[in-house]
Structure 1
């Protein structure tokens, strides 16, 4: 069905966008829905090393050994990771390697490519069909011909902060809630992406113990003051007026003033009615506002 197909694609796109957010400022760059052919065939995510350096912090379990090119297929809670998905990933890896190499006769070495499958839930059928090795909680190596695919099951990963990006896609309310609290703030897009994620889960009937209100309050307490003035302004402008109001309420008065100063005047007034603005001006002037002049009649 077209509607269901588009909904699934939305989950894949959101997974890629959140990884894009997560790797912001790191030596890695994320490409979402990489087109690999004339007849469009999209690879969910490619994580590419763009410059030397180490990732700041600890990567999620199963992603520790990222290479120069890392191809990722993703299956949401509404899909099963099956043999066809694995065949697609292997096929995509061949096409991608040819695409990024200098020429068909000068291919980038195979050890520069990593294959990953991230699934919300354990693929029971697939694990009974192919050679399977448990590496750690929620992390498996799957042999597929001469290739090894690293499989990460989001719903089985330990409840630790470094696994937060994948917990968010586990569709297990407790883990999603933990992931929302532990994920932190990686760019000006973070709040908007988490809002999309939580709204999507709520729309599918997943009971959420962690809401955007919780995230806004936590972000205001822990992260806002660490940002530069430019980053503060970008972060605030991505929030709805209601989200900004929640963040303001979570801050002490002096930090609230600092937060407001990061916004242009029109943004500070967003969400206030004309009557609320008039009442505020009355209080500031001690109730002695000069009445508006009546237009003079022409003689």
Structure 2
């Protein structure tokens, strides 16, 4: 990032220093598009001129140097596929600098003026460098977002097999616990959710993770295509499938989790205090129309 920033400052400062006495200076960035990758790396068509005390040969060398540096910058940023936009922004920034210089030059030609240095510092550092930093953050924020949070433990993906998902009851085999996978839909093998045979407070859905696992959260859905879902539930954990302990809040009371409000929107809950256990059980408290659920367990296999 610092290397790119220095390169930008050199490009703009060099061109400005060679044109400070010419109010007609124009900067033209060569156009390259994602559809024309062959243009990446070519020097932009930059025209610099000077009408006071700068020899023509020096002027040409300065312009060549600026072109090479612009080309290097262009190549450095080609990996983003956004070099065209950046060069367009640089052109606009240079035009703003030139406008400020034009206002200054109306008062007289003074290449040594500290105001020129102030203009360069303000426009180059504030406008150009902050814009580059913003563009890089935009290109990487989605990557940062994706690595946050616990991982699904395999209910949805099928990594956890049908034999490790069980329930208190089922309407029939087509509504069995194997249909409780998050995002399950109706197909030839069954319906889009586990649905209990009885609508009462004794119903539960359970996952066996086969070994002690850090459990960091859960996700639930209702029944695909039907107005049937679980509204509230509690979580229980175990190590042997026979003895269970409840998940509690900070005050030590059993926590009641808010379930779903429709059939398809996933509802995620992250546990403030992750639990290490082999078994996870959803104890159903209340429901809409019928007890039906799809779910995923989040965490980290130890």
Please report the TM-score for the alignment, with normalisation by the length of structure 2.
Answer: 0.22
More strand by share: 2
| Structure with bigger RCO (C-alpha 8 Å, 6+ apart) | 2
> Who wins on radius of gyration, i.e. which is larger?
2
Please report the TM-score for the alignment, with normalisation by the length of structure 1.
Answer: 0.22
